[in-house]
Amino acid sequence: MILSARALSVKAEILTLSVTLFWSFRSPYSYVLLPRINELHRRYDVEIDIRIVHPAAIRNPSYFARMDPLARPYFMQDSARVAAFHGMSFRRPVPDPIAQDPVTLAIAPDQPLAVRLGRLGIAAAERARGLEFATEVSQLLWDGSVTGWDEDDHLAQAAQRCGLNLAELEQAVSRNPAHHDAALETNGQELRASGHWGVPTMVFNAEVFFGQDRFEVLLWRLAQNGLKERAARR
């Protein structure tokens, strides 16, 4: 039987797997995961639906009030270690996107840097460049090559490298900040609805894979569901 063009298109869509990625600019593990996510997207027939969310300090500030005193020192050590394990340059962002007391972990009521990044991430995603923008900006924040990532033309250059114009993104945000804030809130709600609260969280076929250390398990599950390499481009 000869399939119609429409049927062939539907069949091709079924064969393309899709992973939803809940992701935050402040999360070091989100940064560490991205090279593997990008390689997955580049090499295999998998679409990545990136959902930018606010950092936990905005999504769930009570988390830090309940945190065990041992958690943060371990987190700082482990995030640097995991980056080194994956061969990635690493330093915590300067400045930190979240204004937070390093001792008491008290969070400032206003978070202009994190809000700016989140809104820009939404704007980039709406222009089908969310993953590219997250990649460029997370390197800017986390690889240690830039101090003062929020100054000069660092963000503009990062946007340009992924085919975006920072001025246009910021104009879109300024015209309707409530729209971008609502998208961030919706993404946060959908993260919880998926079955987790942290980032990075990957979701495939309603199954949740939390943390950069679950990427290989996700890859195993994708392979069980027909993962295939992309056709070579001529």
Would you say residue 138 lies in a domain? yes
What are 113-161's pLDDT values in tens digits?
Answer: 999 999 999 999 999 999 999 999 999 999 999 999 999 999 999 999 9
Beta bridge pairs of residue 50 = 21
Would you say residue 88 lies in a domain? yes
What's the pLDDT at 232? 64
Overall domain count for the chain: 1
Does residue 184 surpass a pLDDT of 50? Answer: yes
Would you say residue 146 lies in a domain? yes
Domain that holds residue 24: 17-224
What's the pLDDT at 106? 87
Would you say residue 231 lies in a domain? no
What's the pLDDT at 11? 42
User: Where do runs of H (alpha helix) occur along the chain?
Assistant: 5-15, 28-43, 56-59, 62-65, 71-85, 112-126, 130-142, 154-161, 166-175, 177-194, 215-224
67 — pLDDT class (breaks 50, 70, 90): confident
**Would you say the pTM of this structure is higher than 0.85?**
yes
Does residue 64 surpass a pLDDT of 90? Answer: no
Least confident of 4-18, 137-151, 181-195: 4-18
Would you say residue 7 lies in a domain? no
Strands 46-52 and 17-23 come out as parallel
What's the pLDDT at 83? 98
Would you say residue 6 lies in a domain? no
Would you say residue 8 lies in a domain? no
What's the pLDDT at 4? 41
Asked if residues 40 and 48 have their Cβ atoms less than 8 Å apart, the reply is: yes
Give me the CATH number covering residue 84. 3.40.30.10
Does residue 79 surpass a pLDDT of 50? Answer: yes
Does residue 82 surpass a pLDDT of 60? Answer: yes
Would you say residue 4 lies in a domain? no
What are 51-61's pLDDT values in tens digits?
Answer: 999 999 999 88
